[in-house]
Structure 1
């Protein structure tokens, strides 16, 4: 196992070739408004110890009085990021290439004319059609009694929609798959044409699954959580975070009672027995939760005092980044510079 661990960490995946790190942080603001009392910043990091930091301006659609945005997924795709913000009347979903400063605002779906609630699940690439896509789950409310279910005196039904950049439109997906569990960015990642998220089964046991959705054939596969992570684990950990570590889908589980974290990697999608617990690290009492990973076993964490740090699994070295993030929705993504055209605006 030691040999396997060393090889896993030392063999840098092509995933990192030519990539940089973008750090998305939320810092304390000076406003009195409860929902606007923070500001978002975006930094590009470089250097062996991430000592070089360059702040990046985000595109026009987000340069207003509302606070920032979130980044959907764990990486750029051909240099393109998917940004979004959900603040009631100020909802926006935008594709953006920082290298060219080009952006495209994703249009509304016809279904948005009614009362609805939606959750974005992934931004990915269709290798067959060379198309960029966004997938989301929608709860559509109605006063009619003929719709599937009811809640709080209102009837509703649920459905899936997928956006295509080529057609610049949303279309309905006739599919029944587990919905993403949680709102943090650490429950959704993208790798090799597939969007992955944590989903819960429909039984009362709340069995957790990794849901893997193929952006090309629009088919999904579920992989049960590792057998040693039963439901009781939820009461002893502060969270299970989904990451892409050296080209492998991985789970970072934080255990508050022992101040440790475990790293488990997936060998093959759809095969429960292919999960391998590779590392047990700690105790690190001041670590709160991970916000991303990088090559050579570097993992970025947020501390209890809002300070961001990076930790190397091999050397056990911990260093501060010189950045803070107040909220749990900040994250780190891989970014590869590209001049791909989106077909939007400068």
Structure 2
């Protein structure tokens, strides 16, 4: 048709970035090659925060399963990426092996996620990992001075979180220093506890004052909640919860819920439940388990009670619509729907008590590390492999 000219409409830059912020990290990684302005924009704090907010708003969760198929020091602990697509039944997409932790007993323990970043640690070794960007950062050795004449040092509880005031990611770690003193009656052991804090901004450790209680336990759930990290703890005469404020770097304590039992009868785990501090209790004995979830919102209130689930060993984590991942007494991953009380076997197995579920939102948060392939991290497609 004559008289018509071709026109080209360009979208405003802000609208383009708004659209791009809704895409998965894999797509954004490819689009960095389109032009330098896009690549630069993807690294700005505003775009990173917007991208994360969109994923949180749409509840776009990813799943990692940490597990092991054996029970000796040489057995390999690894991560499995599970499909979250509808109808995929949480099938294993690929398995991820981290050589940095291959000689560690628990290989490794996992804290987080915090804004899509995980902290992995075992026996004094620690690293940050963003599984979305595939960036991995090995933390430097601590330079905190140990007390004189220490015979040995062990690394205990660790916490990982975000300081929004300084835009910094921090790791807090409890260290126990042991001494042996020769007496006429024989050897006497003594110890001194220290707490050290790592800052990603400074890439260094420093010593901070210890709390007046003893923190213990390995997290099964995510213990980081809105700027605070929480541990199980014991004081002079009772059990309680100790928290660490990532911004002011101070410890504080709060009591356990009055859950109607004793810790000789019940296990309990701390967790983030929809942005609130939660505590889940379940009996130590028996194969028919019940679960009580308490939530702190000014005071402790019972949020959820699930009675008499057969052939269940322990809880592993919550999923969408308050569904729960559980470890069965047959060491299989199962999903429980509280609205129908249906237990769905997912045909994924591991050795007893090596499974840990990590649900995280994709994130572009940089951690100043190296790419997975540079650390020889291996991702193997799970096609044809046994779950």
Range into which the TM-score falls when normalised by the shorter chain: 0.7 to 0.9
Q: Larger Cα Rg: Structure 1 or Structure 2?
A: 2
- Aligned-residue offset at 1:119: 1.1
1:169 equivalenced with 2:207 (yes/no): no
After superposition, the Cα gap between the structure-2 partners of 1:144 and 1:68, relative to the gap in structure 1 and judged at 3 Å, is: closer
Residue 100 of structure 2 is matched in structure 1 by: 61
Unaligned runs of 5+ in 2: 1-54, 372-387
Distance in structure 2 (CA, Å) of the matches to 1:65 and 1:138: 20
Which SS does the other structure have where 2:213 is aligned?
A: coil
Q: 2:313 maps to which residue? A: 288
- Cα root mean square deviation, aligned: 2.8
User: Which residue of structure 2 lines up, in the alignment, with residue 8 of structure 1?
Assistant: none
CA distance in 2: counterparts of 1:112 and 1:328, whole angstroms: 35
In structure 2, do the counterparts of structure 1 residues 85 and 217 end up closer, same or farther at CA, with 3 Å as the change threshold?
same
For 1:173 and 1:263, the matched residues in 2 are separated by 33
Query: CA 1:40–1:316 in structure 2 vs 1: closer, same or farther (change >3 Å)?
Result: same
Match status 1:51 vs 2:90? yes
Which residue of the other structure, out of 276, 282, 285, is the alignment partner of 1:248? 276
Indicate the SS of the match to 1:153.
strand
Q: Does 1:312 align with 2:343?
A: no
TM-score (norm 2): 0.71
* 1:123 aligns to 2:160 (yes or no): yes
Correspondences of 1:130-149 after superposition (within 5 Å)? 130-142=167-179
Alignment partners' CA distance in 2, 1:308 and 1:323 = 5
SS at match of 2:220: helix
Distance of 2:215 and 2:78 partners within structure 1: 24
What is the deviation of 1:134?
Answer: 0.7
**1:196-215 correspondence to structure 2 within 5 Å:** 196-203=230-237, 207-215=238-246
Gap change, CA 1:71 and 1:55, over 3 Å in 2: farther
Superposed structure 1 runs of 4+ greater than 4 Å apart: 13-16, 64-68, 111-114
Question: For residues 194 and 136 of structure 1, what CA distance do their matches in structure 2 show?
Answer: 14
| TM, length-normalised to structure 1 | 0.79
- Name the CA distance, whole Å, in 2 between partners of 1:143 and 1:234: 32
Structure 1, unaligned runs of 5 or more:
1-12, 146-150, 269-273
1:1-346 matches, within 5 Å, as: 14=56, 17-28=59-70, 34-48=72-86, 50-62=89-101, 64=102, 69-73=107-111, 75-86=112-123, 91-111=124-144, 115-142=152-179, 153-183=188-218, 185-186=219-220, 189-203=223-237, 207-230=238-261, 233-237=262-266, 239-255=267-283, 256=285, 259-268=289-298, 274-346=299-371
Is the 8 Å Cα contact of residues 22 and 44 (structure 1) preserved in structure 2? yes
1:42 CA displacement: 2.4
Provide the C-alpha distance between the structure 2 equivalents of 1:316 and 1:19, rounded to a whole number of angstroms: 23
Distance in 1 between residues matched to 2:191 and 2:221, nearest whole Å: 26
Partner of 2:7: none
CA contact (8 A) 2:80 2:94 kept: yes
Aligned pair count? 307
Give 3-state SS (helix, strand or coil) of 1:180's partner.
Answer: strand
In the TM superposition, what is the alpha-carbon distance from 1:302 to its structure 2 partner?
A: 0.6
